[in-house]
């Protein structure tokens, strides 16, 4: 397969040269020329008004595997101390849709210790089968043991698709599974769709700091693996009447488990993990100091949300790094994001721009945050926040 310029049609306008995210197009003799840096992404094909670029020769790639042997949609059902993570329910919701389109089963892989009694919850939320690996050796998250369980199961049962949350745990061990299975893995997806005929999973994700979206497929490899962002998929509703099968799998330690968790320290305390919050109240350097952060906490409390921050505020030492949103922090996607005293630097915006509704409070009417805000309040946070807290308290009774 290759992307080629139709020389006669090319007008030499150079639009494709700047459209190429990989800098793979040069002008030669007044016409566009595609160099070997091309990744076949097709950005140039879309950019060319003259239809002078085309994809050619869907050459028959010798399929490395018999793709038809792979069936079923799997989700990795993440849990913390027995509590099923909210992203797991979102994966079950999305997985159910994909499985129905493909007329196949949805299975959940559930790994941990003392979690047996929760397996039926996964069935109530849409799973047809639960592979349950419940073992004292699986108490803590460990890359070696978790990837051993999932790789062994996937090798045995050959699922067509494996989804996991783009969480600290998912993003850590899922790539090891993909490496072992020699298959494609797409990180941090926000949209999934399946081609009902080929079974190809179209995985869409942001790249280049959220500046562009890319759709990725693994046409010749199975299982197709993806990690999925929190909060972008709809959680599966609960239906206790659903039935399914729970298959207990013995965890036998093949290979070494070379890493060991000695201690777990929870930092967020009573506040919620910001990735899972529906409402986030975030503060930046414009809060003016740690002494004013109680305003954010108070507002978050009234709304039942969580407190987040910019790198600016984290660097000032006003709040721990685990609350940081942005390129070097967490990516969040709440229903409501209230940005207080935040300038809206691209690195921060990259982590919050997919929020459904954004309210920005900034005293500078030209602050870049206003260009992503649904509603912008121009004013001093120290004046605005107390009024806001008061009004929300009123309507919340």
Partner 1 sequence: MNIIVLVKQVPDTSEVKINRETNTLIRDGVPSIINPFDMFAIEEALRLREQHGGKVTAVTMGPPQAADALKETVAMGVDEVVLLSDRAFAGADTWATSYTLAQGIKKLGAYDLVIAGKQAIDGDTAQVGPETADMLGIPFIAYIKKIEAIAGGKMTVERMMDDGYDVVESSLPALITVVKEINQPRLPSLKGKMKAKNLKVTTLTAKDINADENLLGLKGSPTKVVRIFPPAPRGQREILSGTIEQQVDQVVKKLKEQSLV
Ligand X SMILES: Cc1cc2nc3c(=O)[nH]c(=O)nc-3n(C[C@H](O)[C@H](O)[C@H](O)COP(=O)(O)OP(=O)(O)OC[C@H]3O[C@@H](n4cnc5c(N)ncnc54)[C@H](O)[C@@H]3O)c2cc1C
The span from the CA of 126 to the CA of 94, in Å, is 10
Region binding ligand X by CB under 6 A among candidate stretches 32-40, 151-159, 268-276, 319-327: 319-327
- Pick one of partner 1, ligand X, none as the site partner of residue 264 (Cβ within 5 to 8 A by kind): partner 1
The span from the CA of 51 to the CA of 142, in Å, is 51
Residue 292 is given by DSSP the state G
The span from the CA of 376 to the CA of 362, in Å, is 8
- 299 φ, ψ (degrees, to nearest 5): -65, -45
Q: Which residues pair with 33 in a beta bridge?
A: 26
* 236, 112 contact by CB (below 8 A): no
State which of positions 20-59 bind partner 1 (CB under 8 A). Answer: 20-21, 23, 36-43, 46-47
- Binding status of residue 215 toward partner 1 by CB under 8 A: yes
- Binding status of residue 324 toward ligand X by CB under 6 A: yes
- Pick one of ligand X, partner 1, none as the site partner of residue 322 (Cβ within 5 to 8 A by kind): partner 1
- Binding status of residue 312 toward ligand X by CB under 6 A: yes
Tell me whether residue 1 or residue 290 sits nearer to partner 1 (CB atom): 1
* 218, 201 contact by CB (below 8 A): yes
Tell me whether residue 53 or residue 385 sits nearer to ligand X (CB atom): 385
Region binding ligand X by CB under 6 A among candidate stretches 62-70, 121-129, 184-192, 304-312: 304-312
Region binding ligand X by CB under 6 A among candidate stretches 150-158, 224-232, 235-243, 340-348: 340-348
The span from the CA of 289 to the CA of 287, in Å, is 6
Angstrom CA distances, 124 to 90, 132, 157, 198, 245, stand at 13, 15, 23, 29, 11
In the complex, the smallest distance separating the C-beta of residue 356 from ligand X, rounded to whole angstroms, is 20
Among 27, 63, 137, 179, binds partner 1 (CB under 8 A): 179
- Pick one of ligand X, partner 1, none as the site partner of residue 259 (Cβ within 5 to 8 A by kind): partner 1
The span from the CA of 4 to the CA of 164, in Å, is 36
The span from the CA of 366 to the CA of 199, in Å, is 48
In the complex, the smallest distance separating the C-beta of residue 1 from ligand X, rounded to whole angstroms, is 35
DSSP H or E segment with residue 218: none
- Binding status of residue 357 toward partner 1 by CB under 8 A: yes
State which of positions 251-290 bind ligand X (CB under 6 A). Answer: 284-286, 288
- Binding status of residue 364 toward ligand X by CB under 6 A: yes
Count of residues in contact with partner 1, rule CB under 8 A: 106
Among 63, 137, 207, 290, binds partner 1 (CB under 8 A): 207
State which of positions 77-96 bind partner 1 (CB under 8 A). Answer: 80
User: Which of 188, 181, 173 has the alpha carbon at shortest distance from 78?
Assistant: 173
- Binding status of residue 209 toward ligand X by CB under 6 A: no
* 336, 300 contact by CB (below 8 A): no
- Binding status of residue 191 toward partner 1 by CB under 8 A: no
């Amino acid at each position: 397969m290759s992307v080629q310029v139709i020389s006669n049609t090319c007008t030499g306008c150079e639009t494709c040269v700047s459209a190429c995210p990989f800098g793979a197009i040069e002008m030669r003799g007044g016409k566009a020329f595609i160099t070997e840096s091309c990744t076949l992404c097709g950005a140039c094909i879309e950019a060319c008004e003259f239809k002078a670029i085309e994809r050619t020769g869907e050459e028959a790639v010798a399929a490395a595997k018999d793709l038809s042997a792979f069936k079923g949609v799997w989700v990795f059902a993440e849990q913390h101390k027995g509590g099923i993570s909210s992203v797991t329910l979102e994966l079950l919701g999305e997985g159910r849709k994909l499985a129905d389109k493909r007329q196949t089963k949805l299975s959940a892989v559930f790994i941990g210790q003392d979690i047996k009694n929760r397996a039926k919850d996964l069935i109530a939320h849409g799973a047809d089968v639960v592979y349950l690996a419940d073992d004292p050796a699986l108490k803590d998250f460990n890359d070696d043991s978790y990837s051993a369980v999932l790789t062994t199961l996937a090798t045995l049962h050959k699922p067509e698709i494996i989804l996991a949350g783009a969480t600290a745990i998912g993003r850590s061990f899922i790539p090891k599974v993909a490496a072992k299975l020699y298959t494609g893995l797409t990180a941090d997806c926000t949209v999934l769709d399946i081609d009902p005929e080929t079974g190809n999973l179209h995985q869409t994700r942001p790249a280049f700091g959220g500046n562009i979206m890319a759709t990725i497929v693994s046409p010749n490899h199975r299982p197709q693996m993806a990690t999925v962002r929190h909060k972008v998929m709809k959680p599966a509703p609960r239906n206790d009447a659903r039935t399914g099968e729970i298959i207990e799998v013995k965890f036998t330690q093949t290979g070494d488990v070379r890493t060991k968790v000695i201690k777990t320290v929870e930092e967020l305390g009573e506040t919620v993990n910001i990735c899972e919050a529906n409402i986030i109240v975030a503060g930046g350097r414009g809060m003016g100091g740690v002494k004013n952060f109680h305003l954010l906490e108070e507002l978050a409390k009234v709304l039942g949300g969580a407190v987040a921050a910019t790198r600016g505020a984290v660097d000032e030492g006003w709040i721990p790094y685990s609350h940081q949103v942005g390129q070097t922090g967490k990516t969040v996607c709440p229903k409501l994001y209230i940005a207080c005293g935040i300038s809206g630097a691209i690195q921060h915006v990259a982590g919050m721009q997919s929020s459904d509704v954004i309210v920005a409070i900034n005293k500078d009417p030209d602050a870049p945050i206003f260009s992503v805000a649904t509603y912008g309040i121009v004013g001093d946070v120290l004046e605005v926040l107390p009024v806001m807290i008061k009004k929300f308290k009123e309507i919340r009774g």
